[in-house]
A and B are shown apart, each in its own frame.
Chain A
Amino acid sequence: MKLAVISCIHGNSAALDAVLSDIDHHHAEQIYCLGDLVGYGPDPNAVVETIRALAIPTCQGCWDEDIVVGLDACECSYPSLLAERRGKLAHAWTSQAISPETREFLAQLPLSLRLDNLCFVHGSPNSQHEYLLPEMDESIALERVMTAGAEVLFCGHTHIPYVRTFEDSHVPVHRIINAGSVGEPRHGRPNATYVLYETETQQVTLREVEYDYQATCAAILAKGLPPIFAWRLARGLEFAERADDPTHICDR
């Protein structure tokens, strides 16, 4: 079966629509979503409505949780004072923009999803807020996969897609597959990213999809979000947050 795994849409409906079209084109049979449907972007309700309308299995991201229960960040959420102030501004805007139905939907999302030997989480099996960076200590990273009781752990949260294979450690081979970000890329280009996965062959394809990011930038400005969010989106720089410390263990 061919799966499509998407993550970190962040209220960017133009990017989500483009990725869904690309998934259609590649005939994926099932889509999984790793959360962060809202936050920073201008269309949180539209994104949630699309996910609900297509009945895409979705786990809860850090932003989805924060919008429901309030901010309670570990230091990894905000690597600088400036990022923190921008994040809180985006949180306040999103919190007033989302509908009761959207809030209710985000509140009931599960922390993880399973399909046979595959596990789907937002950050890590420990927390939606923990970053599994590609440089993370190998034993700790493998422990996260084992904790999930899976052979393949799909995650997002870092906004940069990658595949990490633990070749020498165990048979069968364990892997972490990061789906990148649909709506808030951080790989230096504005294009959306997601992952295609063949369950029979274990083949992974990292997809990068062009879309009309200028439309999202215009919506950011029109809706009164900080102009710097549009500038960063257009450059694939992520809006405010950075996760750069692979040794950090989230303690939220």
Chain B
Amino acid sequence: MSVSQPTVIAIAGAAGVGKTTWVRQQLSQATGDRFYFCPGVGNVPIDLTQIMSEFPTIQVLTEQQEVYQLSAQATVYIELGFHLDLASASGFLDAVAAKRVAVLPLGAEKSDWHDWADQVVEGATIANWVEPSHLQRAVLTGQVFDPASLNLFWFELTEAAYGQICRAKGIFDLVDGRAVCFDFVSGLSGSTYTELNLHRWLDGRPERFSGIEVVGQAADQAAIAQTLADCDLSDAAIAHYQAQLKQSLGTEEAG
């Protein structure tokens, strides 16, 4: 690698094994200019949104060409989704002299990721992992949920009411203005629920990204979509709750 190139680290691995978790750990320790690139994310940038809320100063790349323009002081983390073809990314990764890190379960059988990686990092050990056969992604921007409905949906989703699920991750806007990230991996105990470090949205339907990604086997996509639609609060209900919250928050601040 020439001295003028940035440090590039590419991360790959199975769904739910902990790629984003590993990147977040690295970002929390890294110094200097930090960049994040998640190719193929399309219009459902769940991991990107989560990382940006946790690391507001991180700079996000949207095109691989941008990597070539970075200085040697920059560190770029490229997270490759499990559904991407590793071979198709090889040319670019070679060109930028990327270090290849595969996040894999402890004791994972020999796989393409082993052959691809310069370094294997131990990720989550997932019991009873089932090879996924479909990926469902949906933008939920503008939808607002009451927590009880969202919990009910998430419980049913992760308990296989709509088909066997391997992995589910979503960012949802709640009626109290907060945005939360729900994260589920089959075989790990329970889901994780994280509030994102974003401002409370109390002025109508949020104009920021929210969405869901479900990886599974023969999941009923229509039923998932319909249930999410059934959870969406009406404009009138949102306005009512937001007015109450503004009044309550204003009272607290005044007090």
Contact = CB atoms under 8 A, between A and B. Distances in A.
A81 B156 CA distance: 15
B223 A81 contact: no
Interface residues of B, number: 15
A80 interface: yes
A81 B147 CA distance: 10
Given A81-B230, A81-B233, A82-B153, A228 B146 contact: no
Interface in B97-152: 146, 148-149, 151-152
A231 interface: yes
A56 to B, nearest CB: 34
A235 B161 CA distance: 10
Given A227-B223, A228-B156, A81 B149 contact: yes
Interface residues of A, number: 12
B149 A82 contact: yes
B230 A82 contact: yes
A102 B159 CA distance: 36
Contacts of B148: 79-83
B104 to A, nearest CB: 34
A252 interface: no
B156 A83 contact: no
A85 B161 contact: no
A85 B229 CA distance: 11
Interface in B235-252: 237
B161 A83 contact: no
Contacts of A85: 230
Task: Tell me whether chain B's interface is mostly helix, strand or loop, or mixed.
Answer: helix
Contacts of A232: 161
6 contacts: A80-B151, A81-B146, A81-B148, A81-B231, A82-B149, A231-B156
Given A81-B146, A82-B227, A231-B161, 15 more contacts: A80-B146, A80-B152, A81-B148, A81-B149, A81-B230, A81-B233, A81-B237, A82-B230, A83-B148, A83-B149, A85-B230, A228-B223, A231-B156, A232-B161, A235-B159
A79 B148 CA distance: 7
B152 A82 contact: yes
Contacts of A80: 146, 148-149, 151-152
Interface of A: 79-83, 85-86, 227-228, 231-232, 235
Contacts of B237: 81
B161 A228 contact: yes
Nearest to B231: A82
Nearest to A244: B148
A45 B39 CA distance: 57
B246 to A, nearest CB: 21
Nearest to B220: A227
Interface string B209-232: 000000000000001000100110
A82 to B, nearest CB: 4
Nearest to B234: A81
Contacts of A231: 156, 161
Nearest to A89: B230
Contact of B152 (A83, A227, A235): A83
Contacts of A83: 148-149, 152
A232 B148 CA distance: 17
A109 to B, nearest CB: 31
Most central of B148, B153, B231 by chain A CB within 10 Å:
B148
A129 B151 CA distance: 24
A82 B159 CA distance: 17
Contacts of B152: 80, 82-83
A55 to B, nearest CB: 39
Contacts of A82: 148-149, 152-153, 227, 230-231
Nearest to A86: B230
A85 B227 CA distance: 10
Contacts of B151: 80
Interface in B157-202: 159, 161
Contacts of A228: 156, 161, 223, 227
